[in-house]
Amino acid sequence: MIRTIYIIILIYFVLGGIGFYLINRKKEASVARKSYTKFIVYFFIINILFLSITIRPRFFLYLAIMIAISGSLELINLFYRSGLKHVTFFILSLLIYAAFCTGFMKFGLLPYKLILFAFLILSIFDSFSQITGQLWGRKKIMPKISPGKTLGGVVGGTIVSIVSAFLLKGLFTGSVTELIVFTLGTLLFAFTGDLLSSLYKRKYEVKDFNNLIPGHGGFLDRFDSLISGGAWAALCFNLFLK
């Protein structure tokens, strides 16, 4: 079963690669190069997390702890670099982030099949929201907070994710209704976490947290939706799926 799921992931990456080619074929070489770098790095990140979940789930928990700590350091570092501006906003952001991270740590303790299911849905949503948004997105949702997010991207990513949830139903033990609620809640939390991360950067007037991950704007830029979506998965499991 895991082998079949991995083949599905590779098919998604091929489709994503085609999408990135269509997006970048008319762009300047430097812009296209950055986009392809982001795609390749993302491929390796997905593989590392996938293998940690399927081969040694406890290792995924250690990675989750590392991601959460790295994200908190990015928030603190950006606050410090700003000259300690917007103290109330910073404290509130840390509290919200701590709440998400608490859920994210609990996510790392869930049954590995549910972790894998949520992780794949989140990754598919994240990837195909970008691809469909750049290919067909016209109407921007919140241009002052996150200029790149479009209605077409969110709708496209959501549709692909829901279809994928049914393809991956073998990893989910609940009913069809629970599958839909779990998936939509995961996507909503992921989108919210992504927006909050963008809001934080806008507040402190930066585009990226840092450039530690090639092609990405920092750990939170890469993992904000995983942290928030994972928090919902843990909450949903403890309230409805146990």
Closest by alpha carbon to 231, among 63, 72, 53, 104?
104
Residue 242 has pLDDT above 70, yes or no: no
CB 115 within 8 A of CB 106: no
pLDDT band at 78 (very low <50, low <70, confident <90, very high): very high
Mean pLDDT of 44-69: 91
What does the pLDDT average to over 1-20?
Answer: 83
More reliable by pLDDT, 177 or 136: 177
d(C-alpha 59, C-alpha 62), whole Å: 5
| Close Cβ partners of 131 (under 8 Å, ≥ 6 residues apart) | 16, 19, 20, 23, 156
Given a cut of 80, whether residue 106 has pLDDT beyond it is yes
pLDDT for 223 beyond 80? yes
pLDDT, residue 207, reads: 86
Residue 110 CA to residue 164 CA, distance in Å, equals 21
Confidence bin at 200 (pLDDT 50/70/90): very high
Rounded distance between C-alpha atoms, residue 198 and residue 152, angstroms: 19
Tens of pLDDT along 110-131? 999 999 999 999 999 998 998 8
Going by the DSSP 8-state scheme, the letter that residue 239 receives in this structure is I
Give residue 182's pLDDT. 95
